[in-house]
Structure 1
């Protein structure tokens, strides 16, 4: 097995095309967490994203990195905070500063290789970040060398473009997989022009992308849960993401060394085993009734981002512990649905959207 690397922006060295997403590492015991990090580094992995639901994994990660911190590219988030050890998101500048400083201290470091303004999906949230000092603070951190690369994380192409137009962005974290990228076209599925243009624009500007959700929260790995009604393998999902312009690395969440070993098998697979071309020939009748978050259903009279509600519902049901918080932070959610049915008339896949909104309402209300 030979790990592959890509060039960081501005001649900043090499980054492994697979990294470690730490979101679910708390499911393992401390020694096992240390073993995951050590095993990854021994095999050439040099990227970790530190957002997690439960911060109990921080100490074993810090211990695993002792004496070799400079060998690991740490992607750390501005606005992800852990009151009482559990994930939350803040846009209060003082809390954001304090949270980031605490993160640096916990990991025994004085810098983050990549500083990410955490989870920006709505225009109102973007405007708040630009006006309340958060973006200025992030720029100052970069100027001071406390972060080496400035970025953000998002699920929205519109928000990505708004950040990119600032001229300040080096790298960003984006939810990217085949389920999110394909849309219906003439009876089959075709790549979304909007998303592909974003990737090409980033490549042209020298902006890198690190990928979250390469398996769509695990849904793509199972034919029963995949929006395509066809399963993909881990190597196919990773190859798909790495084939997009500007992508530097995939960050699948891992819970254990076994999970990481499964991901690293990608480097030992053949081109045939990584081939995902079957997607382009799927008739979209195969995915009738399944939401692929394409937002053809829009506009919603109530202003609900229907694709995001469906996405967070599916991710939460698949075990993504951060999806609940992301759903709750939406300015409009399933509780605002007036059941008018306008969305269903526009949906090319005949999704029972009103039923999905009701399901999301009940599901997330139980988690409050």
Structure 2
């Protein structure tokens, strides 16, 4: 195992962590065994957000008597009414939900307290004005959370949080499909995203990575937004090569998934090499959304990249994606089919068709 230090302390984080979102696909005893196996191999970070709370008790069981050996990333605003995930911005529910999370895991602190899934300016402003950010700061002052952070898919929202000067770490969706954008017939790293990573490194703010495999889509050329397959080793290396990144949270359904992620440490440089991405031509990516948002601005105010991202993640099995889509201030239901987005899209994506697909998909999911 390799470790990286949190910029604001000497605490070391394993460069591969466990994303618990799909652990419920294993039995309780298998979950205990997965956590045991990860810790035996040096993993000391787990992100505890999940679509339901079935995996929580076996995680707590695995950590009993050695809680201090695992950094727990716990979310303020992720609540589990009757065991099912939802996101809230009601301060009283945020407080009650976080207290229940601590009790659930048999602990009195979270190593990393994450303001959960903030992707829109209005949502950020609500957190700042309705007492949620103040509550998070209070928890940090009291030592109930050791490091203050947030999770987001939006570079713009990340910058708003960073401007507060009070963020230690954050969880960000990061992979090659999200980071690259079109330029002169090739794909190049997004300037906006790279500047964010560099700014974090300069300011001493760490990043933990969610969606390193893009929900598994990058692992298959047929589903990859790049129209080219990346291996798990390449995805992990790509994420760890970004400035300020501390750890790559691998989504784990089974011990096999964790073993495949940990194989990264025995992989050769050639097996980790992802340089082929820079030579991928646009022509191989026609009608493929890579969420670059070059289609903006939308006259209806829809974040088209987020709608497409949540649709793809939901279809790939991400059980949180539907809730995140439904919490968008504007979604596919607001599309007027004006076609302005398609005129701007460098990959000639049929955006109107994608909006119809998203509308139908999530409406059917709601029934």
Name the TM tier (shorter chain): over 0.9
In structure 2, the partner of 1:191 is 189
Match of 2:329 among 331, 334, 337: 331
Provide TM-score, normalisation by structure 2. 0.99
| Kept after mapping to 1: 8 A contact 2:209/2:245 | yes
In structure 2, the partner of 1:15 is 13
Match of 2:260 among 259, 262, 271: 262
Return the alpha-carbon distance in structure 2 between the equivalents of residues 266 and 81 of structure 1.
33
Match of 1:35 among 33, 36, 44: 33
Return the alpha-carbon distance in structure 2 between the equivalents of residues 234 and 271 of structure 1.
13
Runs of 4+ with >3 A deviation:
none
User: Which runs of no fewer than 5 residues in structure 2 stay unpaired?
Assistant: none
Q: Does residue 98 in structure 1 map to residue 93 in structure 2?
A: no
In structure 2, the partner of 1:53 is 51
Match of 1:362 among 353, 360, 366: 360
Match of 1:230 among 228, 231, 234: 228
Match of 1:140 among 134, 138, 141: 138
Match of 1:116 among 91, 114, 117: 114
Match of 1:207 among 205, 208, 222: 205
Question: What whole-Å deviation, never above 9, does each CA across 1:258-315 have from its counterpart, x for those lacking one?
Answer: 1101111001101110000000011111111100000000000100000000000000
Q: CA deviation at 1:9?
A: 2.3
In structure 2, the partner of 1:300 is 298
Return the alpha-carbon distance in structure 1 between the equivalents of residues 152 and 323 of structure 2.
14
SS in 2 for 1:53: coil
In structure 2, the partner of 1:216 is 214
Return the alpha-carbon distance in structure 1 between the equivalents of residues 227 and 121 of structure 2.
33
Question: What whole-Å deviation, never above 9, does each CA across 1:113-166 have from its counterpart, x for those lacking one?
Answer: 000000000000000000000000000000000000000000000000000000
Q: CA deviation at 1:367?
A: 1.1
Q: CA deviation at 1:8?
A: 1.3
Match of 1:161 among 152, 159, 168: 159
SS in 2 for 1:359: helix
SS in 2 for 1:227: coil
Question: What whole-Å deviation, never above 9, does each CA across 1:194-232 have from its counterpart, x for those lacking one?
Answer: 000000000000000000000011100000000111100
Q: CA deviation at 1:250?
A: 0.5
| Kept after mapping to 1: 8 A contact 2:8/2:205 | no
Q: CA deviation at 1:12?
A: 3.3
Q: CA deviation at 1:322?
A: 0.2
SS in 2 for 1:88: strand
Q: CA deviation at 1:321?
A: 0.2
SS in 1 for 2:30: helix
Q: CA deviation at 1:11?
A: 2.2
In structure 2, the partner of 1:312 is 310
Question: What whole-Å deviation, never above 9, does each CA across 1:73-100 have from its counterpart, x for those lacking one?
Answer: 0000000000010100000000000000
SS in 1 for 2:250: coil
CA RMSD of aligned residues (A): 0.5
Provide TM-score, normalisation by structure 1. 0.99
Q: CA deviation at 1:178?
A: 0.2
Return the alpha-carbon distance in structure 1 between the equivalents of residues 289 and 78 of structure 2.
29
Number of aligned residue pairs: 366
User: Which runs of no fewer than 5 residues in structure 1 stay unpaired?
Assistant: none
Return the alpha-carbon distance in structure 1 between the equivalents of residues 330 and 11 of structure 2.
42
